[in-house]
A = this chain, B = another copy of it.
């Protein structure tokens, strides 16, 4: 068993035994996996069924995680606990009661919007952001009650600031980087990250090339220096990894992520007509087996043991412990 807890708080791979073995090779004890982009409730249940089959078939590698203690169990037994999340509120449809149902099924993170306007909040690609909606306010209350974490990774700024303000429990931006490091639309402003972390929220650093300075060619040094600067600005206890690893996915999947069933015209999201597919990952982070590279890179910046351990997983673990159970 590796010394420190490692958690990757966002992946959406084309799951396979190979990938689960790489999680173990990388000493990754907890992974938050996306199980829905645009799926409705019934379709999401089918995705959970598919995960249940993985758990049944590969119990020596993975199991379903519900609480922080499951990450500890994974560390003790050399396995990986898998935590479910949604990148869009489509699985709850227009029904607030589905929030508790989804929590009962193991869902622990839900983005309030994904690029577009949702029933709850505005996505980061809309021209206007009117803020959290009437349903959104009710959903935030209910998510706080049952222990389903609000994720604003793909939401627009006003909605994000509203959610941080309205939520009585810390929220998360599971996979994004600071806009001051790489000014992508999906990366977050200093104002947003400051507000998030001031209330105990967590930022997970993304390794998706469109979120990286120099894209696929981003250096490990640049990525880790950015993290060290975030530790200095926002507190080393409020940051972690959310790699956004989309390993082995065909390009049809990025089309689904971007277009769902909402558009007949192709939307290229962070890509473009000439670079429509998944971009190549940096050579130092091709899969979960490469987590040690990040740990080494963080040490090289001068961060201390406790800071590195927190960023590699301890901070997410504390956040899981505090935010996955019903409010008391």
Contacts and interface: CB of A to CB of B under 8 A. Distances in A.
A100 B95 CA distance: 23
The residue among A46, A52, A95, A105 with the most chain B CB atoms within 10 A of its own CB is A52
Nearest to A52: B100
A48 B48 CA distance: 18
A267 interface: no
A106 interface: yes
Contacts of A56: 145
A281 B105 CA distance: 38
Interface residues of A, number: 19
A97 B42 contact: no
A41 B45 contact: yes
A46 B105 CA distance: 15
Given A41-B42, A42-B42, A49 B100 contact: yes
B97 A105 contact: no
Interface string A139-170: 00000010000000000000000000000000
A229 to B, nearest CB: 42
A95 B45 CA distance: 11
Contact of A105 (B42, B52, B53, B101): B101
A104 interface: yes
Given A101-B105, A104-B104, A104-B105, A95 B49 contact: yes
A58 interface: no
Contacts of A97: 46, 49-50, 52-53
Nearest to A146: B52
B45 A98 contact: yes
A45 B105 CA distance: 12
A52 to B, nearest CB: 5
A57 B49 CA distance: 31
Contacts of A145: 56
Contact of A104 (B50, B95, B98, B106): B106
A49 B105 contact: no
